[in-house]
Amino acid sequence: MLVASVLSLKGGVGKTTVTLGLVSAAIHAGVSTLLVDLDPQMNATTTVEIDESGPSIADVLDNPRRSIVNGALQKSSWSDLLRVLPGSEAAESHNNPDPNAKQLARLSTAIAKVDPAPDLVLIDCPPSLGQLTRSALVASDRAVLVTEPSLYAVTGVQRALEAVQKERLTHRHLQPLGVVVNRVRPRNTEHEYRLGELRDLFGPLVLNPNLPDRAAIQQAQGAAVPIHHWPTAGAREIAAMFDQLLDRLMRSAKHKTRA
Ligand SMILES: Nc1ncnc2c1ncn2[C@@H]1O[C@H](COP(=O)(O)OP(=O)(O)O)[C@@H](O)[C@H]1O
Ligand SMILES: [Mg+2]
């Protein structure tokens, strides 16, 4: 089992888009996947079309007992290979500014109890570095950072990487996979400049490919279908990019530092 968190400092940069793109690529590739929606805005939960009235991640974080964890899991209409730990606005109560080690370990404990264990766990984080995101990092082998090619991209990525490094001091299995640069417009001078700046500073941590701005992403999300099932050329292009990012993520598992 490989656990990966998708995070950023800011909202609206594409965390949920990247998480769902990787979910889509994973089920397309036949990988059994668990999607964990840690964001109290629960956009990922809404998009994978599950019943939102049942128990959620908030109940699991309240008490990560085996029966509660497995009782909260739901099948998505996207694929039999996908199970979802649904998000909830109530998860906000688990976003303390100064969490203790026990609180930070709850998500990790819960994921270990999922039966049967999936091959891949993808965690969609809220736009902050509070308890929820930190508990995702504690549970994760890999961190995928997301940014747009904007003025504050460099400082945002730097702070997110620092948060990953800090968590790594006590959780050695955690490693940054890299940075996905999202919503890049080709031939946009500002975007090319920011992309260059990110590559200069973060080198190979800037993942390829970066993701262009494509209407297909919003169309597929609006229709609540995986990007691999959206029948346009733009969607096929984006789906192929997520296949590459998933491939990079799964290959990194070969160097995993825990069993
Ligand atoms: N590459 C892209 N092209 C077009 N629209 C995008 C792209 N990435 C994200 N979006 C749109 O931008 C909005 C914010 O993205 P989202 O993934 O929800 O961000 P976050 O989870 O970081 O808040 C969504 O409406 C999403 O459909
Ligand atoms: Mg989101």
User: Please, where are the H alpha helices in 73-232?
Assistant: 101-112, 131-139, 153-168, 189-202, 215-222
Q: Give the count of beta carbons closer than 10 Å to the beta carbon of residue 203.
A: 9
CATH number, position 126: 3.40.50.300
Nearest residue to 23 via CA among 10, 33, 14, 9 = 33
Residue 94 lies in a domain: yes
- Grade residue 163 by pLDDT with cuts at 50, 70 and 90: very high
Residue 259 lies in a domain: no
Our answer on whether the CB atom of 210 is closer than 6 Å to any ligand 1 atom is: no
Residue 167 lies in a domain: yes
* 74, 50 contact by CB (below 8 A): yes
**DSSP character for 85?**
E
Quote the number of domains for the chain. 1
pTM, to two decimals:
0.97
Residue 51 lies in a domain: yes
Residue 247 lies in a domain: yes
Residue 135 lies in a domain: yes
pLDDT tops 70 at residue 114: yes
Across all residues in the chain, what is the average pLDDT? 95
Q: Which domain holds residue 96?
A: 2-253
3-class state of residue 114 by DSSP: coil
> Ligand 1 pocket test: which of 5, 7, 17, 18 has the largest number of ligand atoms within 8 Å of its C-beta?
17
Per-residue pLDDT of 172-197, as tens digits, reads 999 999 999 999 998 999 999 999 99
Instruction: Return the ligand number nearest the Cα of 211.
Output: 1
pLDDT tops 70 at residue 34: yes
Residue 258 lies in a domain: no
Our answer on whether the CB atom of 17 is closer than 6 Å to any ligand 1 atom is: yes
Identify the helix (H) or strand (E) that includes residue 246: helix 233-252
The fraction of the chain above a pLDDT of 70, given in percent, is 98
> From atom 11 of ligand 1, which residue's Cα is the shortest distance away?
218
Residue 139 lies in a domain: yes
